[in-house]
Amino acid sequence: MRYLLLLIWSLNLFAAQALEIKAPDSLESIFQQDQFHYYRGDEIKMVLAGETEFATLFRDRTSAMAKGIVILMPDWQLPANNYYGLDSLRKTLNQYGWVSYAMNIPDPIAFYQQEIKADNTLFHAPDAERLDTDALNAYQLQLMSRFKAVYQTALGHPGFIIVIAQGATSTLLVDYFAKTPEEEVDALIFLSSYLPDRAKNELLNQNFAKVKPPVLDIFSTADSSLVKETLSQRKIIATREHKLNYRQRELFNSQTSPQQQARLTKEIYGFLTKSGL
């Protein structure tokens, strides 16, 4: 009997241990481990935002004349050195006098309010998923906290300050700068701006005309419908609100192709030159 009880106890213990599943590492921690592995120590600078320390990829200018600082912010679920244009820009802009800080951003949390299921009794498609407003606002606070920390670091360098942001990150940045923040930047450049919620996407597009700095809104033929469907709306709003320093530019070819990235740099350089930067 004693051996039977011991056997049952051992089996229960084994089952309990088997049920202990370790949570997967966050995307940010994986990206950061890769960056520490592949980059030199002086290319990685740790920045403190509140109680959270995160990595940024730093590169100094390589030209004789200093222009200023560019802060680069990736899209959700992408690293600071992603191949959709950001890694190329953080290097090539150094040749034009810009010091670059490419920052890692927090992992997206579970934004969606509920799972949307098709109703077979309906003759139309089910409603699209909707982002939870409270969760989105909480995430934006985390994101802007990191941006403010990098901005304070950037103030240690002379010159202008510009921000380049990708995807959903750029849309949240527009919303922030439409409210007249304390941080002053000289230009905002957005790459394939969108938010994965059509209703909020259209609502936040109203803010593009409220942003004071010059805005370059870049998109590609390879972008998703979420990016493309509101481009005309943003252009109309900018015209109606007399946002004269708003520009749209379309790129062709794959976002990861060297030709596309070379043209991306030229478009940004031309825009900054015309803006007096």
For residue 19, pLDDT beyond 60: no
pLDDT in the model for residue 121: 53
pLDDT score, position 99: 97
pLDDT, position 254 = 78
pLDDT at 125: 47
Who has greater pLDDT, 204 or 182? 182
pLDDT at 256 over 90: no
How high is the pLDDT of residue 33?
Answer: 85
* pLDDT at residue number 224: 81
pLDDT given at position 23: 63
pLDDT score recorded for residue 40:
81
Torsion, Cα of 72, 75, 77, 80 (10° steps): -10
Report pLDDT digits (tens) over 103-129: 999 988 666 554 544 555 554 444 555
- Both structure tokens of 166: 């990708």
- Mean pLDDT within 243-268: 89
Best mean pLDDT range from 5-14, 130-139, 147-156, 233-242 = 147-156
pLDDT of residue 233: 85
Q: Which of 82-91, 165-174, 202-211 is predicted least confidently?
A: 202-211
> Which one is predicted more confidently, 67 or 27?
67
DSSP letters, the chain, are -HHHHHHHHHHHHHHHHHH--PPPPPHHHHHHHHHHHHS-GGGEEEEEETTEEEEEEEE---SSS--EEEEEEPPTT--TT-TTTHHHHHHHGGGGTEEEEEEP-PPP---BSS-----TT-SSPPPPP-B-HHHHHHHHHHHHHHHHHHHHHHTTS-SEEEEEEEHHHHHHHHHHHTT--S---SEEEEES---S-HHHHHHHHGGGGG--S-EEEEEETTS-HHHHTTHHHHHHHHHHTT-TTEEEEEE-S-TTSHHHHHHHHHHHHHHHHHTT-
Position 5 pLDDT exceeds 80: no
What is this structure's pTM? 0.86
What is the average pLDDT score of the chain?
A: 84
For the chain, give the percent of residues with pLDDT over 70.
Answer: 84
* pLDDT tens by residue, 183-216: 999 999 999 988 888 888 877 788 888 899 999 9
Q: pLDDT exceeding 90 applies to what percent of the chain?
A: 49
pLDDT tens digits along 43-79? 999 999 988 899 999 999 999 999 999 999 999 889 9
